[in-house]
Chains A and B, each alone.
Chain A
């Protein structure tokens, strides 16, 4: 029940295309869903986050879509750029500051 399942494991997208990464969870007590971005040799950094009272949150080219009934959430990167090439992690938490992490998606944007 504590798991967050992330897919795909890796993703190749052409420059200008839409990158989509999906996550699913079981624990309905989760109430905070962040996405982190990690570049090689660096620590993860918060990209965007959502709470379950909204179905979508957009920040620039990055959008989180949240489906509470399906217990799924996804990250959409519009107009993907080579600089977006990184590993992306979804996570979830509930009221205890701890994050439960997905396994990560390695995204490559081809020029």
Chain B
């Protein structure tokens, strides 16, 4: 069965360190998204990609970067982790048609000390 996985599931890091969160999908979807989820804010879009070599900034992109070298993977990098980036991060992917369901991974809980 097609799926979307994230790793690690939990991560503790220190302020200033670079952190990379992995996202891998086997749906063969072109569209991939990274969100952060914080209490009271719902899901906020960090970055998104509509295909290989395509990346775009979302609502809360400062301090984050992504790269898309193949269809299956969209890693999220925190260049210099800050305590404000403590959150739960979700990756999602969707098919090519507008309105296609976004399928979410299980999330990564990141704590920045």
Q: Is the CB of B42 within 8 A of A43?
A: no
Chain A binder among B61-69, B76-84, B103-111: B103-111
Interface residue B43 (Cβ < 8 Å from any Cβ of A): yes
For A, the interface residue count at a CB cutoff of 8 angstroms equals 24
Contacting residues, chain B, for A42 (C-beta < 8 A): 106-107
- Provide the main secondary structure of the chain B interface: strand
Contacting residues, chain A, for B106 (C-beta < 8 A): 41-43
Cα distance, A25 to B26, chains bound together (Å): 33
Q: Is the CB of A97 within 8 A of B50?
A: yes
Q: Which residue of B lies closest to A96 (CB)?
A: B98
Which residue numbers of A lie inside 8 Å of B, CB to CB? 6, 9, 31-32, 34, 41-46, 49, 51, 89, 93, 95-99, 101-104
Which residue numbers of B lie inside 8 Å of A, CB to CB? 31, 33, 40-45, 48, 50, 58, 90, 92, 94, 98-107
